[in-house]
Amino acid sequence: MATPSFSIPSSRPTTSQFSLPAGAQATATIDLDDLLFSTKKTQHEPPRPIAQDPPEHSLTADRAVARHTLEERLVLIYACLESRDLLSAEQIFHRLLRSNLTDMREIVDARILNAFIEARLDPSPPRHGRPGVSEPNFSLQRAMDWFQSFDGQLTVKRTGDTFAILVHHHLKAGQIDRVRELVERMELEGVTIQQLLDNYRFDEISDRTSLEAVLRDMGKDVEGIPTADRLLLTAMEESDRKQAARTTTASATADPSAAFYDLEPESSSTPAVKPPKTAPQSTTSRGIQILQKALRDLVATGRSDKYAQQQWLEERSAAAAVENEEEERANMPERIRRLSAMPTDLIAAWDSHLVKKLEEDIAEMASSGRDAEETPLLEWLRQAKPARLSKITITEFIRPPTRQEIEEGNLAGQIPFAKLAMTIGRRVEQELRARKIKEHTSKQKYRMQNALHELHNDGKLFQMRMRNMISKISKFKGDDKWLPRFPDGTRARLGAFLVERLMSVARVRVMEPNPLIPGEMEGVEKPAFEHEIERLSTKQRRGMIRFNPALYEVMMRQDVTVEPWLLPMLVRPRPWMTWKEGGYLLHTQKMVRIQKDKESRRYLNSADQANQMTHVQVALDILGAVPWKINDEVYDVAAAMWNKGEHAPSLPSAITIPELDPIPEDAPKEDIWKYQTQQKERRDKLAQNFSIRADSNYKLEIAKAFCGETIYFPHNLDFRGRAYPMPQHLNHIGNDLCRGLLLFAEGKAVGTQGLRWLKIQIAALAGFDKASFMEREKYTDRHLESVFDSADRPLDGSRWWLQTENPWQLLAACKELTRALRSPNPEEYISYLPIHQDGTCNGLQHYAALGGDELGAKQVNLLPGDKPADVYTGVADKVQEIVDADIIAGVPEAILMKNRVNRKLVKQTVMTNTYGVTFIGARDQIRNRLREARDIQRHAVKRAEQAAARGQTIETETFEPELSNEDIEKCSLYATRKVFESMGALFEGARAIQLWLNVAASVISRSTFAEHVPKEQLEVAAQLNAMGVLPSPFTVARTQVREAEDSMRAEAASDLDESVGGLLGAIASDMAEAAESSLPDGAESTASTGAAATPEDDEFDDGGLLADEDKKAVAKRIANERISKMTSVVWTTPLGLPIVQPYRNYMQRNIPTLLQTVTIYDRQSNAPVNPTKQSTAFPPNFIHSLDASHMMISAIACEEAKIAFAAVHDSYWTHACDVATMNDILRDGFVRIHSRDLMQDLRTEFTDRYAGHKIPVVVELDTPELQQQWKEWCKSKGFKDGIQKTKKGFKTKKISTWVDIEFAQLPARGEFKIEQVKDSTYFFN
């Protein structure tokens, strides 16, 4: 029984909104009424549930190794084919057929076999011959053998590419009869003439003409076949007929055929790039130098067309090469005393030595006489030049961590070995793939890409009729080449090899005391990097690559590097016509960021084939099509402060920490331990400072490089549907400096309302954001002198702008408002500054809307108000009420918390509570706030004491007695509970919904598709049902919710359990865990209430049934077969994006390398889900998906309204004059989404999607009559009944079995009416 995925069966009266109408794409423009909640069903076959491997094919450790070996051997075959070593490729392939036919049948497809056919028809000689091998590569007979192999052991279906390869060869050879035979066979096998004609091999006019002539002779109607080029031209001409005629000054692609046939269309010359006024003196990034050199090359080669420039830039920067450029020794800092004058070619020396070493290694491997399987690294090392491999490796070694990596605890100068090896392996793969993609890009495909770019520039792809036609055209691809991804094992081995080789040659010169001449120093060559094993716990260790301290000091003050191929784009990003292609022109990225999760790929592929995600793709294209430019005025200020070494938020200055005095070798252990701890603290502080400065360095250098350019940010999604820019270092989602450096490239007259919004934004950025709009506007008017001073004299004036949390954005706003007010007509001033409108704790807004929670809605501005409600203050006030009551009751912790509850204490916890923060995490947050308050108190007291010592008196705040560390621990536990309690009181509806979501996900993740349950186990369930003891699915569902509520209450009252999280105070990781602890082995929960079983070992147990002699095999299967939890939580967003939670317990695999063993996770296996993670993560992930949907429909509506739209999660930006329009759109979009009962629709979708699933339960046979029935049935089946007799006559028998899945009824909705949002001025503010 197939379970639906994206649509609701027609047999049900209610249709889920979680599907996109099939007809929505047929509209001429984007129709928001058809965008959501259509009742039309999407017609396509959903993916089937992932099954546990059958016993004979279960993924045991040995079989997992065999499968990994197969995957690595297949990419080795690809490398051999690339090297033209066909004999080795064929030998490896046939060995795999003999050794692992099962997995070969699953993995091998037509692309692999086509690659062998094409290779055997290519007369090119081997690029790297093996000793003793002289057989020619060309062999028509071998090619036909591979053609026949489709029908052999693998039973693979031939594709259009299969026939195109052979037809093209025989046409060239003049063998027309063979062409006819192939065409006839092709049609018999279901491959169309259209697919053949559209294959890139027939791009050339002569080839196409010859083929069409043969087809006409065969009586085929060639003229009526809508090939891709004809369809595209038709689409462009139809679109042009519906547009006004272009002027004669339009681009050369005004003729629709020009964009398709001109490989390099003419365009007007690129405007001169405006040079920045200030260059950041301290940044000499080699990666940036590559970027700058690439940009200079663009001008030098006369590439004025932006599309060609972007391709050129991606090609030039793909390897992130470290250029060998001279540097002057005089520029080196004097304070680096441990180094002699550092050679200007230090990096170049490493590069030279590593290139030589790699060349020697390749030569040695090649001369060994061993076959490809014995030297797999040789084949991959040969694919790229040693110089490329060297530069990729060095770049990754010296690259400081990104901001995200810093936040995860990774610091400069110390890199986990496994991560470094995998990253280098991935970078080499990306380099090779980029090269092959360019080689595989046919003339036809290039023409189509060029035409697609022109259509996108003209905005025609936002017309749904046009987009639908282009989407159909994209399915005519006939150049589906085999380009396999590297398995993680290959990446790890290749990367680890390059790591070890660089470490063996990289040296740095260190100044040390001369042992022969006291008082003199000498230069000594030392290894630049060291490999150490770091102990993380008693059972966990990891390898680290650490800089030599001397090198570390040099890198702290010198070069950084960058990955320039993840930079802003010079043209609009490639539109997302499928989920696999879009964004950058050459570097392939997926629309959804998934880590090799094959279940997610299956759902995305299915949705893509059904054109279900069209509106998601449109929204991403809209976000990527927003043109930006660098704010050169803010850049000049930032660069000036950087050059002076001044500290500012997002722009920290360098710190200097004196070295510790050495201690004697015979010092006490306690002193040695203290010294080592202090050394580590010093190193970590320096590393963190360097890492953050390097991140700022990137931003400044990239901004400098793109000054005067119009830039674009391609976007893609995380698995929940949240949009992120793909460029890593400089984008509008970045920190305050990033946002201050960016402006819209297209301006609009500010207008009367726009001036008002400029003032409102300044007040908000200055920290005055809790007041009404009118009060904020007045605040700015009162501070106009400070605004003008900040704009005119940002560094020489009062620096008012620097005294805020977001100084760079405030500086940009001050300059914009100053220019507007000083212009002759302020209302006509052209403004480029994005104005922000931020949601009020968006997660809580969605929860309040889902549950109709009126009290919660008021707290998060869903209801109209005179000024914005502040949910953080609301929670703090509620906590204070509880604390005051507890003080009267004499609660010790409440007394300690007197006058310590405030907005700052609760803000982070409230903000993250909606998104699943655990109790432990929340307690950490509040503990940190209490410590910060104590530090502020100590600092204030110290200042007062110093002033008193000088005979001065200063005003200080009155503080409560200082909290000790023990007090803070007690208070943090107490305050966290009270925050959760207050959240539950303020957001009762949200709490109930989050509880339901948790329970639903827990049920799903513990369920099994009925077809995957052995039939004998289902017979047991049927018998128990016949006996009247099997609980109904509805009883089980109600019990699960009740147990979850009881578990939550018990945990909230416990002093020991801190695992709770979220609004519900936390569901237990296993809902029936307490009940399980009292049961014997094999039993999983109480059955009298119909509770779901939750076995710890993921194994189904039948309660100990044993077989008679003639039934042993069957009974053994019943008792011992493992039924793994394979079902993940899957839902579809209102815009048609399927969401698959990726939390599974993947099998680990160890990869031995020269330096250490690298552990990776096998994400290709059918791994069991992690039920706890599936359950706890679902509520925040579901809310994120709704939030993302609201953003997307807002983006589409803004495009329809012709206003700019940029998104930073729950903060939306547009021009000042369009803020009111955007606010109307935001309110309307939120109402549109929540006008449906989303929770009921979700329950309906779950009911249909998981129809046919079973969940484990335990039933009790607690009467003699029931046990007698059970004994009789077991006897009829040949089973031992397992009933134990006692002195009292019998003992209750507990049996694990299965019941149909069912979902509890939804919590009752509150009285809040969603239409009220339309009247809420401060919904977004």
Q: Would you please indicate which residues are annotated as catalytic (active-site) residues?
A: 1210
343 burial type by CB count under 10 A (0-12 exposed, 13-18 middle, 19+ buried): middle
In 869-1025, the DSSP E strands lie at 1008-1009
Work out the angle at residue 28's Cα, subtended by the Cα atoms of residues 25 and 33, and round it to the nearest 5 degrees. 65
Is residue 897 a contact partner of residue 906, using CB atoms and an 8 Å limit? no
Q: Are strands 835-838 and 1008-1009 parallel, antiparallel or unpaired?
A: unpaired
- Residue 88's contacts (CB-CB under 8 Å, 6 or more residues apart) are 80, 130, 371, 372
CA 407, CA 403: separation in Å to the nearest integer?
6
Q: Which amino acid is at 547?
A: F
Element (H, E) at 781: helix 773-782
The DSSP secondary-structure symbol of 1158 reads: E
The DSSP secondary-structure symbol of 948 reads: H
CA 135, CA 125: separation in Å to the nearest integer?
10
CA 264 to chain centre: 35
> Side-chain half-sphere of 399: how many Cα atoms within 13 Å?
24
Q: Which amino acid is at 969?
A: E
Q: Which two tokens stand for residue 25?
A: 């794409």
829 burial type by CB count under 10 A (0-12 exposed, 13-18 middle, 19+ buried): buried
Q: Which two tokens stand for residue 739?
A: 């946002």
Work out the end-to-end distance of the chain between its first and last CA atoms, rounded to an integer number of angstroms.
Answer: 50
CA 58, CA 60: separation in Å to the nearest integer?
6
CA 946, CA 132: separation in Å to the nearest integer?
87
1212 burial type by CB count under 10 A (0-12 exposed, 13-18 middle, 19+ buried): buried
CA 76, CA 371: separation in Å to the nearest integer?
12
Max Cα distance, the chain (Å): 110
Q: Which of 334, 329, 322 is nearest to 344 (CA)?
A: 329
Q: Which of 171, 126, 122 is nearest to 143 (CA)?
A: 122
Handedness of CA 125, 126, 128, 134 (dihedral sign): negative
CA 273, CA 1037: separation in Å to the nearest integer?
66
Is residue 1000 a contact partner of residue 1065, using CB atoms and an 8 Å limit? no
Element (H, E) at 1206: strand 1206-1208
Element (H, E) at 481: none
466 in helix, strand or coil?
Answer: helix
Residue 507 bridge partners (DSSP) = 527
Q: Which amino acid is at 480?
A: D
What are residue 648's phi and psi, to 5 degrees? -155, 155
985 burial type by CB count under 10 A (0-12 exposed, 13-18 middle, 19+ buried): middle
CA 220, CA 65: separation in Å to the nearest integer?
51
Give the chain's length. Answer: 1325
For 632-735, where are the alpha helices, taking DSSP H only? 632-644, 669-705
Q: Which two tokens stand for residue 950?
A: 């000088």
Q: Which amino acid is at 314?
A: E
Q: Which amino acid is at 234?
A: T
